[in-house]
Amino acid sequence: MHYVSQGQGEAVLLIHGLFGNLDNLKNLGSVLEKNHQVIRVDVPNHGLSEHWDTMDYPSLANAMVELLDQLNIASAHIVGHSMGGKIAMAMALLYPTRVKSLVVADIAPVAYEPRHQTVFAALTSLVFDEHTSRKSALAHLLDSGIDEGTAQFLLKNLQRTDTGFEWKMNLDGLIHCYPRIIGWDLPIGVDVHFDKPTLFIRGGDSNYVTADHRDEIVRQFPQVTAKTLNGTGHWLHAQKPEIFNRIVAEFIEQNQG
């Protein structure tokens, strides 16, 4: 699994969301690096990491633990956004001794209804040929009903080849595994919970974490505290980076040792 490790101190692992890469939380990483060893990863099927045919939260959590083993890190503070938040939660529930504290950004430990059909349709219908450019790819995504911010985010996955462009991410693999990505299927009983410090941060304008999710969050993470960033949507870490970074950094500092 491709990763970048910078800084020294207690380890913090940063895990990005669907269609992202290790640069998504780079801004947060630069703040935390002053006092911590910060590891940013490309989740399998994303960025420069290996492509998997089967992708689920138990296997993704295991991959993160194997990376900690590789780096000789006994336990770390884990921060995840969206899909990365689900990977972080799976680590905490399946490997609690490896997690010192947990920060989950705008996702809940529940199964969701599909909500990326427009994105997948836009990505799969983009034809790569000798005429393809970043400009034409952007126009295609916008014409397919993708908003400009999301389109620019998705285009970070474009990479140039000898013959033109291709996706860095394993698009076929993500489509195949999408039911597992939006699901929440862990091999644990209903009484299993993570009883170390946990922080949920949600976007005030986002519908990913709602009042309906409260009981499941508290059941699985009883030591939870929650914050809402008003004026932000699902991309809260990019929309209000200063306050997001400060909240995460202060939480991790409070739970060192």
For residue 234, indicate whether it is catalytic: yes
Question: Would residue 45 be called left, alpha or beta, if left means φ above 0 and alpha means ψ between -120 and 50 degrees?
Answer: left
Determine whether 200 is exposed, middle or buried from the number of CB atoms within 10 Å of its CB (0-12, 13-18, 19+).
buried
Q: Whose structure tokens read 């409260």?
A: 214
Structure tokens at 82: 């969206």
Question: Would residue 72 be called left, alpha or beta, if left means φ above 0 and alpha means ψ between -120 and 50 degrees?
Answer: left
SS3 219: helix
For residue 136, indicate whether it is catalytic: no
What does the alpha-carbon distance between residue 25 and residue 40 come to, in Å, rounded to a whole number? 8
Instruction: Please pick, among 49, 82, 101, 206, the residue that the annotation labels catalytic.
Output: 82
Instruction: Please pick, among 36, 77, 81, 234, the residue that the annotation labels catalytic.
Output: 234
3-state helix, strand, coil in the chain (%, to 5): 40, 20, 40
What does the alpha-carbon distance between residue 17 and residue 152 come to, in Å, rounded to a whole number? 15
Please report, as a single letter, which amino acid is at residue 248.
V
Residues with active-site annotation: 82, 234
